Structure 1
Amino acid sequence: MQSTYYIPTRIVFGNHSLSRLSEQKLPGKKALIVISQGKSTRSNGYLDQLEAQLNQAQVPFVVFDKIQANPAKRHVNEGAELANQAGCDFVIGLGGGSVIDSAKAIAIMATNTGDLWDYVNGGSGKGKPMTEKPLPVVAITTTAGTGTEADPWLVITKEETQEKIGLGNDATFPVLSIVDPTLMVSVPSPFTAYQGFDALFHSTEGYLNKTANTFSDLYSLEAIRLLGKSLAAAVHDGADLQAREDVALANTLAGMVESTSGCISEHSLEHAMSAFHPNLPHGAGLIMISKAYYTYIAEHHVSDQRMIAMAKALGRSDAASAMDFVHALVDLQKACGVDTLKMSEYGIKVEELAKMVENARENMAGLFTVDPMTLSDEDCLSIYQKSFC
């Protein structure tokens, strides 16, 4: 086995753990708080809780509240400008994966010159190294989907070219993350499901990835087990704190999978979908293509034993074939009420599918190189077509 383990984030996990923020060593003297442009962070009292903790710690702050569900590069630039104008020396992301990803990107651009795409590999990115260390980031997650509180990665959309690409390095790990399941009880049922399946696919993709290793395998299988056990319960009763805790822990473990292994081409294919249609929730897009995607892997027998292990982790104890994982996956989607999602409901058209294949290949080609199989453009198009309705 050849592997490198590096996860430098201090994680404070548990119900009401946001109330412990003021006890932690914060990485600066003034914070830029990054939140979404929606109302929930304020209306649910989460921003008030954070501000009270910062006041208790005697740390001043300013708030940037323009982040979209699929975060855009233009808002990264605005946030970085505000951070510099206000003299902020660290960034707090309070929200879901989009907000925390944006906080990381803002931290990069607050200290580095030029444009974020100067530092992006893939698409029209220039692939330059960052010359300055980003501002420190504190992540306070209010959803359980991306695991970004435990990994260095961020995904941003360049709207004018429909490029949705990830980047990150050792310096973009959060220095501190608060994972408080009580902040997740207000997430509506459909989004609990979308986010939970995103965490699931981070784990399954990491387990099938060519770079998978003992460390990532441990995190992957436990995250899959927890989601199989509790995701449907969290979807049906958002106030079920035990279920929320299981799903939150699975999400953080999935972030650790991202830090020790990584995604494969399923994520490339979905990023193209939501790059073309930013109103499509990332997790929903993954659900739409997942049956066809994992059926392809099962039918080509490239990872049979790992597919069986994932099926068992999802709860199918008698699993004996790779397709048993697909059956277990579909059963979980039915249990969560997301098995009938349609691409067409989000404006996706059949004639766009070939362009999406091209977009996936051009912008996140690296994920195809760590697949357990070789996907041709024709294979990718077939997966889209079989998923379309």
Structure 2
Amino acid sequence: MNFNYYIPTKLLFGKGQLNNLHLEKLPGKKALIVISSGKSIRENGYLERVEKELTLAGVSYAVFDKILPNPIKSHVMEGAAFAKENGCDFVIGLGGGSSIDSAKSIAVMAANEGDYWDYISGGSGKGLPVPNSPLPVVAITTTAGTGTEVDPWTVVTKEDTEEKIGFGYEKTFPVLSVVDPDLMLTVPPHLTAYQGFDALFHSTEGYINKTAYVMSDLYALKAIELIGRSLSAAVNNGKDEKAREDVALANTLSGMVESTSGCTSEHSLEHALSAYHPSLPHGAGLIMISCAYYTHFAKSHSCDDKLIAMAKALGKTDANDPIDFVTALAELQKACGVSELKMSDYGIKEEELMKYVGKAYETMGGLFEVDPAPLTKEDCFAILKASYR
């Protein structure tokens, strides 16, 4: 029982909390608002509401609206240049994980010279220390998927080399985050499912991770319980406010898992898939490989007690075998209408599966080191092959 604990983000959680943003001491006088290239943030009125809150707070702003579902390095560099040109002294990520992740990366480059990949460890990154502190980041999440509002992590793809790699350190934690479940009522069913399973796997990976400890375990099991209880309800009736609240809390807790423990190789494998195939939603990719992935660890008997505990948290209260977690997982995927996802629908070819394994080790090999048992390249190939449809 010996650990360090650090999550410095101030969190405003709950229905209507966006309306309180102007009451907070914001970290600057001009914000760069980072949103996606899609229409939903504007059409649902969320951008207008944030702009109103900033105006009430006496803060000016500029909007950068090019972020893709799988963020790319060129947009990070472009957004950072835009922030400098407009004299922005803090960054607001408004939207899902892609917008908030991009806001963190833009905040780094708006305060530093060179190329973003200079600071990336893994793949072709140079792994250099970041000289200057990033601009402060405020996160306002409109989805329940990544937990990035309370963790320091950001995932970006270097499009010319097809490398999708995570980055973050203590200075990339948001200083303030708003989690208002009302902003999630408009998320369509399939995206609600993809995002909810991403939050689930942040929690399950963090729970079986070698770095897990008492604090991460508390957050992980509660997040798994909330998702097991309410994700299918949120998917099947997006206007169910209680279900949305549960999943929003699970998502934020999963971010706290990411801040205290972390991901395992499941994320390395999926990042390799969506690096090559950016139309593949991250959560969908995780769903596709998850049953085979956790079956591997159930058969390895490396984390039996934890798999049983996760099965119980997910709702299978009579669980007594590690494979019961896979059974509960498959049942939840069916209840959420995502059990029939196919890799082939996103251009992934069976004969290229070993390529993705190699990319996973090359770009995010560090996550394999925290798996509960060693996962060889042959094991990874077998997981992808068993998942392929």
Q: TM-score range by the shorter chain?
A: over 0.9
- Per the alignment, residue 324 of structure 2 pairs with 324
- Per the alignment, residue 341 of structure 1 pairs with 341
**Do structure 1's residue 145 and structure 2's residue 170 form an aligned pair?**
no
Question: Aligned equivalents of 1:343 and 1:206: distance in 2?
Answer: 25
- Structure 2 counterpart of 1:77, one-letter code: M
Question: Aligned equivalents of 2:3 and 2:213: distance in 1?
Answer: 7
Q: Give the deviation of 1:294 after TM superposition.
A: 0.3
Residues 4-26 of structure 1 deviation map (CA, whole Å, 9 limit, x = unaligned): 11000000000111111000110
Q: Give the deviation of 1:338 after TM superposition.
A: 0.3
Q: Give the deviation of 1:58 after TM superposition.
A: 1.1
- Per the alignment, residue 368 of structure 2 pairs with 368
- Per the alignment, residue 244 of structure 1 pairs with 244
Q: What SS is found at the alignment partner of 2:166?
A: strand
Q: What SS is found at the alignment partner of 1:207?
A: helix
Residues 273-323 of structure 1 deviation map (CA, whole Å, 9 limit, x = unaligned): 000100000000000000000000001110000000000000111000000
Question: Aligned equivalents of 2:368 and 2:294: distance in 1?
Answer: 15
Please give the residue correspondences for 1:201-240 in structure 2 after superposition, counting only pairs within 5 Å.
201-240=201-240
Q: What SS is found at the alignment partner of 1:364?
A: helix
Residues 78-137 of structure 1 deviation map (CA, whole Å, 9 limit, x = unaligned): 100010000000000000000000000000000111011100000000000000000000
Identify unmatched segments of 5+ residues in structure 1.
none
- Per the alignment, residue 312 of structure 1 pairs with 312
- Per the alignment, residue 68 of structure 1 pairs with 68
Question: Aligned equivalents of 1:358 and 1:112: distance in 2?
Answer: 32
Question: Aligned equivalents of 2:195 and 2:327: distance in 1?
Answer: 20
- Structure 2 counterpart of 1:267, one-letter code: H
- Per the alignment, residue 31 of structure 1 pairs with 31
Question: Aligned equivalents of 2:33 and 2:231: distance in 1?
Answer: 29
Q: Give the deviation of 1:362 after TM superposition.
A: 0.4
- Structure 1 counterpart of 2:372, one-letter code: P
**Do structure 1's residue 107 and structure 2's residue 107 form an aligned pair?**
yes
**Do structure 1's residue 54 and structure 2's residue 32 form an aligned pair?**
no
Question: Aligned equivalents of 1:330 and 1:305: distance in 2?
Answer: 19
- Per the alignment, residue 259 of structure 1 pairs with 259
Question: Aligned equivalents of 1:35 and 1:317: distance in 2?
Answer: 41
Question: Aligned equivalents of 1:72 and 1:352: distance in 2?
Answer: 23
Q: Give the deviation of 1:352 after TM superposition.
A: 1.8
Please give the residue correspondences for 1:254-293 in structure 2 after superposition, counting only pairs within 5 Å.
254-293=254-293
- Per the alignment, residue 82 of structure 1 pairs with 82
Q: What SS is found at the alignment partner of 1:353?
A: helix
**Do structure 1's residue 359 and structure 2's residue 359 form an aligned pair?**
yes
Question: Aligned equivalents of 2:316 and 2:172: distance in 1?
Answer: 37
Identify unmatched segments of 5+ residues in structure 2.
none
State how many pairs are aligned. Answer: 389
**Do structure 1's residue 199 and structure 2's residue 199 form an aligned pair?**
yes
TM-score w.r.t. length of structure 2: 1.00
- Structure 1 counterpart of 2:274, one-letter code: S
- Structure 1 counterpart of 2:50, one-letter code: L
Q: What SS is found at the alignment partner of 2:160?
A: helix
- Per the alignment, residue 174 of structure 2 pairs with 174
Question: Aligned equivalents of 1:94 and 1:127: distance in 2?
Answer: 28
Could you tell me the percent identity over the aligned residues?
67
Question: Aligned equivalents of 1:352 and 1:66: distance in 2?
Answer: 31
- Per the alignment, residue 183 of structure 1 pairs with 183
- Per the alignment, residue 94 of structure 2 pairs with 94
- Per the alignment, residue 294 of structure 1 pairs with 294
Q: Give the deviation of 1:3 after TM superposition.
A: 2.2
Residues 232-290 of structure 1 deviation map (CA, whole Å, 9 limit, x = unaligned): 00000101010000000000000000000000000000000000100000000000000
- Structure 1 counterpart of 2:102, one-letter code: S
Residues 121-157 of structure 1 deviation map (CA, whole Å, 9 limit, x = unaligned): 0000000000000000000000000000010000000
Q: What SS is found at the alignment partner of 1:206?
A: helix
- Per the alignment, residue 116 of structure 1 pairs with 116
- Per the alignment, residue 18 of structure 1 pairs with 18
Question: Aligned equivalents of 2:191 and 2:240: distance in 1?
Answer: 16
Q: What SS is found at the alignment partner of 2:156?
A: strand
- Structure 2 counterpart of 1:330, one-letter code: A
Q: Give the deviation of 1:2 after TM superposition.
A: 3.5
**Considering only aligned residues, what root-mean-square deviation do their CA atoms show, in Å?**
0.5
Q: What SS is found at the alignment partner of 2:104?
A: helix
- Which stretch has the larger CA shift, 280-289 or 347-356? 347-356
Residues 328-382 of structure 1 deviation map (CA, whole Å, 9 limit, x = unaligned): 0000000000000000011110122111000000000110000001011010000
Question: Aligned equivalents of 1:4 and 1:359: distance in 2?
Answer: 32
**Do structure 1's residue 6 and structure 2's residue 6 form an aligned pair?**
yes
Question: Aligned equivalents of 1:156 and 1:351: distance in 2?
Answer: 26
Question: Aligned equivalents of 2:292 and 2:154: distance in 1?
Answer: 26
- Per the alignment, residue 125 of structure 1 pairs with 125
Q: Give the deviation of 1:228 after TM superposition.
A: 0.2
Question: Aligned equivalents of 1:373 and 1:129: distance in 2?
Answer: 31
Q: What SS is found at the alignment partner of 1:341?
A: coil
